[in-house]
């Protein structure tokens, strides 16, 4: 589904990603973790070309994101993305947030878009809030609407960029529940997160990054079950994050 | 000093002032709408990161902002007939000049407005498959416009005051109406006083509106 092939990225002379490669198969849930500044958020943003790469290539469903003939907006419309800070459109109601891209990008009929959007809103349990504006919702609710907005586009894969990092602790659960549900239904997911509980529960694979490099890329059971085989950097990270 | 306002009855107001008042408002509205549209395009050009768009837009804005408005009004009025080969009415000339001039100021406001929208919003637009122009039109500009509404209105108040500068090319605006009436009735002091009062009332009440808007927008955020 997603093939990341030897990508490197620089901000000026500073290299943020170094020769990263991995593959995400259909139906797979891959968690990307690592200390802050390790490049995991940058990596996930390169997947749908929100951040350009200077070397290597990424293909989504066989379509290269670096090929000059690729219609990037069209490719991105098939990839759902959820951001750390939700990024709902604050000037639009929840309903309009859900339908805007369906109508303007996919060319769906208004009624069809609304039906699809409301179905997804129901799925994240927020039907009652369809007429509100993002500013009237809690962080957890906003993030669930953001997930519904992405799902309304019928994506072939979902990218989550630290979806719970900006939330108050009591709201993390409601967002993770939606994500777990999604994973169990077979959605292909790439998730940057520190929520190791989520990784243990539903992921197939865990990628560990440090200093712009992919250090570990192994199955969940290998990653959590066989700590002695991990690199010192990953062991250190795991011991800190799993301490509590 | 003996002030006598009694000659300023409704017939004087309607025959001298109304026409000028209507033109002042017309000029303000046209220059506002045209200036914001053109200014937004200039702002997008300056933020595009493409030198062939950035350089001309920046040059235009910096030039307009460095020349006194009254000179732009005069030049345009005097030069256009030379270029077109036929004269252009003072009123039409004023409308074009003000639009072109105000665009430079509105563009700086819109530039700040566009930059006030977090980059994440642009990413969100792209991520759902929008093109650059869709992201701008549907996501960034509405927010930029809303954030900048008080500043845009404040600029419009200044614009309204500046419309009086069309005296330089003899266009018939509100001030001109008062001036002509003052001359005809030999009461220039009175008419200029009333003109000042009218400008004050309009501008001051508009700035009150701006204050309210500011409070409202602060709440929305």
CATH of the domain spanning B10-220: 1.10.3720.10
pLDDT of residue B132: 94
Inter-chain CB proximity A91 and B130 less than 8 Å = no
Mean pLDDT of B156-176: 93
Name residue, tokens 């504006």. A133
**Mean model confidence pLDDT for chain B:** 91
Would you state the structure tokens that stand for residue A72, as one six-digit string? 């990037």
Would you state the structure tokens that stand for residue A20, as one six-digit string? 């990263």
Answer yes or no: are the C-beta atoms of A109 and A133 closer than 8 Å: no
User: Least CA distance to B127: which residue of chain A?
Assistant: A76
Answer yes or no: are the C-beta atoms of A48 and A79 closer than 8 Å: yes
Pick from A73, A89, A149: CB nearest B131: A73
What is the 3-state composition of chain B as percent helix, strand, coil, each rounded to the nearest 5? 85, 0, 15
Report how far residue A242's alpha carbon sits from residue B195's, in angstroms, rounded to the nearest whole number: 76
pLDDT of residue B57: 96
CB proximity B220 to A under 8 Å:
yes
Inter-chain CB proximity A91 and B146 less than 8 Å = yes
User: Least CA distance to A136: which residue of chain B?
Assistant: B220
Helix, strand or coil for residue A233?
A: helix
Mean pLDDT of A44-67: 93
Of A91-105, A229-243, B43-57, B152-166, the least confident: A229-243
Closest CA of chain B from A67, distance in Å: 17
Pick B5 or A66 by higher pLDDT: A66
pLDDT of residue B1: 67
Give me the residue spans of the domains in chain B: 10-220
**Local structure of residue A198 (DSSP, 8 states):** H
Q: What secondary structure does DSSP assign to B84-135, as a single string? A: HSS---HHHHHHHHHHHHHHHHHHHHHHHHHHTS-HHHHHHHHHTT--HHHI
| HEC readout, A102-171 | HHHCCCCCHHHHHHHHHHHHHHCCCHHHCCCCHHHCCHHHHHHHHHHHHHCCCCCEEEEECCCCCCCHHH
Nearest residue to A195 via CA among A215, A216, A180:
A180
Answer yes or no: are the C-beta atoms of A117 and A95 closer than 8 Å: yes
Q: What confidence tier does A230 reach under pLDDT thresholds 50, 70, 90?
A: confident
Inter-chain CB proximity B143 and A91 less than 8 Å = yes
Q: Is the pLDDT of residue A117 over 80?
A: yes
Report how far residue A212's alpha carbon sits from residue A41's, in angstroms, rounded to the nearest whole number: 10
Q: What secondary structure does DSSP assign to A20-54, as a single string? A: EEEEE-TT-EEEEE-STTSSHHHHHHHHTTSS--S
B171-210 as b/e: b if 16+ CB within 10 A: bbbbbbbbbbbbeebebeebbeebbeebbeebeeeeeeeb
Closest CA of chain B from A161, distance in Å: 12
Residue A72 makes CB contacts below 8 A (sequence gap 6+) with A49, A65
Report how far residue B67's alpha carbon sits from residue A137's, in angstroms, rounded to the nearest whole number: 49
Taking only the tens place, the pLDDT of each residue in A164-175 is 999 888 899 999
Answer yes or no: are the C-beta atoms of B111 and B36 closer than 8 Å: no
Q: Is the pLDDT of residue A189 over 80?
A: yes
Name residue, tokens 């004023």. B94
Inter-chain CB proximity B123 and A50 less than 8 Å = yes
Distances in Å between the Cα of B148 and the Cα atoms of A16, A104, B25, B144 are: 35, 26, 22, 6
Q: Is the pLDDT of residue B199 over 70?
A: yes
Report how far residue A176's alpha carbon sits from residue A118's, in angstroms, rounded to the nearest whole number: 20
Mean pLDDT of A42-66: 93
Pick from B123, B138, B146: CB nearest A100: B138
Report how far residue B79's alpha carbon sits from residue B50's, in angstroms, rounded to the nearest whole number: 32
Would you state the structure tokens that stand for residue B101, as one six-digit string? 């001039």
- This model of the complex carries an ipTM of 0.93
Report how far residue A176's alpha carbon sits from residue B200's, in angstroms, rounded to the nearest whole number: 59
User: Which residue of B129, B131, B138 is the best one to mutate when testing the A interface, meaning the one whose CB has the most A CBs within 10 A?
Assistant: B129
Helix (H) or strand (E) run with residue B167 in it = none
Nearest residue to A150 via CA among B129, B141, B137:
B129
pLDDT of residue A60: 94
pLDDT of residue A243: 67
Q: What confidence tier does A244 reach under pLDDT thresholds 50, 70, 90?
A: low
pLDDT of residue B219: 59
CB proximity B142 to A under 8 Å:
yes
Q: Is the pLDDT of residue B221 over 60?
A: no
Taking only the tens place, the pLDDT of each residue in A150-168 is 999 999 999 999 999 998 8
Taking only the tens place, the pLDDT of each residue in A69-91 is 999 999 999 999 999 999 999 99
Q: What confidence tier does B114 reach under pLDDT thresholds 50, 70, 90?
A: very high
pLDDT of residue B74: 93
Inter-chain CB proximity B138 and A105 less than 8 Å = no
Mean pLDDT of B199-208: 94
Would you state the structure tokens that stand for residue B104, as one six-digit string? 């430079």
pLDDT of residue A111: 95
CB proximity B137 to A under 8 Å:
no
Main-chain phi, psi angles of A207, to 5 degrees: -110, 130
Pick A241 or A212 by higher pLDDT: A212
Residue B44 makes CB contacts below 8 A (sequence gap 6+) with B114, B136
pLDDT of residue B86: 83
Report how far residue B165's alpha carbon sits from residue A241's, in angstroms, rounded to the nearest whole number: 69
Mean pLDDT of B177-187: 89
- Give the total residue count for chain A: 244
Inter-chain CB proximity B134 and A91 less than 8 Å = no
Q: What percent of chain A has pLDDT over 70?
A: 99
């Amino acid at each position: 589904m997603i093939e990341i092939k030897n990508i490197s990225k620089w901000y000026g002379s500073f290299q943020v990603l170094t020769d990263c490669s991995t593959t995400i198969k259909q139906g797979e849930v891959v968690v990307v973790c690592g200390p802050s500044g390790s490049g995991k958020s940058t990596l996930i943003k390169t997947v749908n070309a929100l951040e350009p790469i200077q070397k290597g290539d990424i293909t989504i469903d066989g379509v290269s994101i670096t090929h000059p003939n690729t219609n990037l907006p069209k490719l991105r419309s098939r990839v759902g993305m959820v951001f750390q800070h939700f990024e709902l459109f604050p000037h639009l109601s929840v309903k309009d947030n859900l339908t805007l891209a369906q109508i303007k990008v996919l060319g769906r009929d208004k009624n069809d878009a609304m039906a699809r959007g409301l179905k997804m809103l129901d799925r994240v349990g927020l039907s009652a809030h369809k007429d509100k504006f993002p500013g009237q919702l809690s962080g957890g609710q906003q993030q669930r609407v953001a997930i519904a907005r992405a799902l309304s586009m019928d994506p072939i894969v979902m990218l989550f960029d630290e979806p719970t990092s900006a939330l108050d602790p009591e709201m993390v659960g409601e967002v993770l529940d939606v994500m777990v549900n999604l994973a169990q239904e077979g959605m292909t997911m790439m998730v940057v997160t520190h929520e190791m509980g989520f990784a243990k529960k539903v992921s197939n694979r865990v990628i560990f990054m440090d200093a712009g490099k992919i250090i570990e890329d192994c199955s969940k059971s290998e990653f959590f079950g066989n700590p002695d085989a991990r690199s010192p950097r990953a062991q250190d990270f795991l011991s800190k994050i799993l301490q509590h | 000093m003996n002030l006598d306002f009694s000659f300023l009855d409704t017939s004087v107001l309607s025959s001298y002032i109304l026409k000028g008042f209507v033109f002042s408002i017309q000029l303000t509205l046209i220059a506002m709408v045209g200036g914001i549209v053109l200014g937004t395009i200039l702002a997008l050009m300056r933020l595009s990161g493409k030198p062939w768009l950035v350089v001309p837009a920046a040059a235009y804005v910096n030039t307009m902002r460095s020349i006194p408005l009254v000179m732009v009004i005069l030049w345009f009025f005097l030069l256009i007939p030379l270029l077109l080969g036929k004269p252009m009415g003072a009123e039409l000339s004023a409308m074009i000049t003000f639009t072109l001039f105000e665009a430079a100021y509105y563009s700086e406001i819109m530039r700040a407005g566009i930059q006030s929208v977090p980059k994440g919003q642009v990413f969100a637009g792209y991520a759902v498959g929008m093109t650059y122009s869709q992201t701008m039109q549907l996501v960034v500009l509405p927010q930029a416009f809303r954030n900048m509404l008080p500043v845009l209105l404040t600029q419009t108040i200044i614009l309204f005051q500046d419309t009086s500068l069309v005296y330089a090319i003899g266009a018939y605006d509100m001030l001109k109406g008062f001036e002509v009436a003052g001359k005809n009735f030999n009461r220039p002091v009175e008419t200029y006083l009333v003109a000042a009062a009218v400008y004050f009332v309009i501008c001051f009440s508009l700035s009150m509106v701006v204050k309210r808007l500011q409070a409202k927008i602060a709440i929305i955020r």
